[in-house]
Amino acid sequence: MRATLTTTFQSLQVRNYRIFATGQLIKLIGVWMMFIAQDWLVLQLSDDSATALGVVVALQFTPVLLFTLIFGRLADRYDKRLLLFIANTMWFVLSIAMSVLVLTGVVELWHVFVFAALLGVGNALETPVRQAFVSELVGTPLLPNALALSSATFNTARIVGPAVAGLAIAAFDVGPVFLISAIASAAPLIGLIQMRAGDLYRADLPVGGVRDAAKVMDGLRYVARRPDLMLPMGLMAVMGLLLFNFQLTLAALAKTVFNTGAASFGLFTTALATGALAGALAASGRRGRPSVYVVLGSGLAFAGLGTLVGLAPMYWLVVVLLVPTGFFMVYFAQASNQRVQLGVDAAFRGRVMALWVLVFLGTNPVGAPAIGWVAEHVGAGASIWLGGLLSFLISAAALAWQLRRTGGRLRLRWAAPLPRFYVRTHPRLRDDLALIES
Residue 98 lies in a domain: yes
Encoded amino acid at 68, one letter: T
Assigned domain for 156 exists: yes
Domain containing 254: what range? 8-406
Mean pLDDT within 222-243: 88
Same domain, 390 and 433: no
Q: Say whether both 380 and 436 belong to one domain.
A: no
The verdict on 334 and 427 lying in the same domain is: no
Burial of 170 (C-beta count, 10 Å sphere; 0-12/13-18/19+): middle
Using CA atoms in the order 237, 241, 247, 250, what is the torsion angle rounded to 10 degrees?
-130
- Are 50 and 167 part of one and the same domain? yes
Angle between helices 292-311 and 380-406 (to 10 degrees): 160
Does 3 map to a domain?
no
Regarding whether 331 and 420 lie in a shared domain, the answer is no
Q: What is the pLDDT of residue 118?
A: 92
Same domain, 399 and 413: no
434-438 long-range contacts (CB < 8 A, ≥24 apart) are 436/227, 437/226, 437/227, 437/228, 437/343
The answer to whether residues 72 and 188 belong to one domain is yes
pLDDT in tens, 289-344: 888 888 999 999 999 999 999 898 888 898 899 999 999 998 998 888 888 888 88
Report the pLDDT value the prediction gives residue 433, as an integer from 0 to 100.
45
CATH number, residue 394: 1.20.1250.20
Residue 90 lies inside a defined structural domain of this protein: yes
Same-domain check for residues 13 and 161: yes
**Together in a domain, 363 and 414:** no
pTM of structure: 0.70
Query: Across residues 4-31, what is the average pLDDT?
Result: 85
Q: Within this chain, do residues 294 and 422 fall inside the same structural domain, yes or no? A: no
Of 261 and 178, more confident: 178
Q: Same domain for 290 and 413? A: no
The pLDDT tens digits for 95-105 are: 999 999 999 98
Kindly give, in sequence order, each residue whose CB lies less than 8 Å from that of residue 53, ignoring residues fewer than 6 positions away: 39, 42, 43, 46, 248, 251, 252, 372
What's the chain's average pLDDT?
81
Number of domains in the chain: 2
The answer as to whether 1 is a domain residue is no
| 233 & 283 share domain | yes
CA dist 59 to 1, 53, 67, Å? 45, 10, 13
3-state secondary structure string, 308-376? HHHHCCCHHHHHHHHHHHHHHHHHHHHHHHHHHHCCCCHHHHHHHHHHHHHHHHCCHHHHHHHHHHHHH
In a domain, 2, yes or no: no
Answer yes or no: is 378 within a domain: yes
Lowest-confidence segment of 3-7, 141-145, 323-327 by average pLDDT: 3-7
Can you give the pLDDT at residue 393?
95
Establish if 391 belongs to a structural domain: yes
